Amino acid sequence: MTLPSASPAPWCDFDLANDEARVEELEAQSAAAGFWDDPDSARDLMQELAAARDRVETWGGLHRRASDAAELIELAEAEGDSDVLASAGADLDAIEKEFEALEFQLQLSGQYDSRNAILAVHAGAGGTDSQDWAEMLLRMYLRWAERKGYSTDILDLTEGEEAGIKSTTVEIKGKYAFGYLQSERGVHRLVRLSPFNSASARQTSFAKVEVMPEVEQVGEIQVPDDDIRVDVYRSSGAGGQNVQKNSTAVRITHIPTGIVVTCQNERSQGRNRESAMKVLEARLLEIELNRQEEEKARLKGQHMDVSFGSQIRNYVLHPYKMVKDVRTDFETSDTTAVLDGEIDGFIEAYLKSRVGEEA
Give the pLDDT score at 338.
98
* Band of pLDDT at residue 4, cut at 50, 70 and 90: very low
151-181 b/e with 16+ CB inside 10 Å = b? ebeebbbbbbeeebbbbbbbbbebbbbbbbb
More confident residue, 42 or 2: 42
For residues 244 and 268, what is the distance between their CA atoms, to the nearest angstrom? 10
Among 90-94, 105-109, 151-155, the least confident range: 105-109
Q: Which phi-psi region, left, alpha or beta, contains residue 26 (left: φ > 0; alpha: ψ -120 to 50)?
A: alpha
Domains of the chain, residue spans: 16-105, 117-353
158-177 pLDDT, tens digit per residue, is: 999 899 999 999 999 998 99
The total number of residues written for the chain in this structure:
359
For residues 114 and 175, what is the distance between their CA atoms, to the nearest angstrom? 5
Record: fold of 16-105: Methane Monooxygenase Hydroxylase; Chain G, domain 1 (1.20.58)
CB 313 within 8 Å of CB 323: yes
More confident residue, 274 or 96: 274
Give the pLDDT score at 128.
93
pLDDT averaged over every residue in the chain: 84
Is the model's pTM score more than 0.75? Answer: no
For residues 55 and 22, what is the distance between their CA atoms, to the nearest angstrom? 11
For the domain made up of 117-353, the CATH class stated in words is: alpha beta
211-236 pLDDT, tens digit per residue, is: 999 998 767 888 999 999 999 987 76
CB 252 within 8 Å of CB 229: yes
For residues 167 and 279, what is the distance between their CA atoms, to the nearest angstrom? 14
Give the pLDDT score at 7.
38
Give the pLDDT score at 246.
63
For residues 347 and 336, what is the distance between their CA atoms, to the nearest angstrom? 17
> Which residues neighbour 151 within 8 Å (Cβ) at sequence distance 6 or greater?
145, 172, 173, 174
For residues 98 and 261, what is the distance between their CA atoms, to the nearest angstrom? 40
254-268 pLDDT, tens digit per residue, is: 999 999 999 987 778
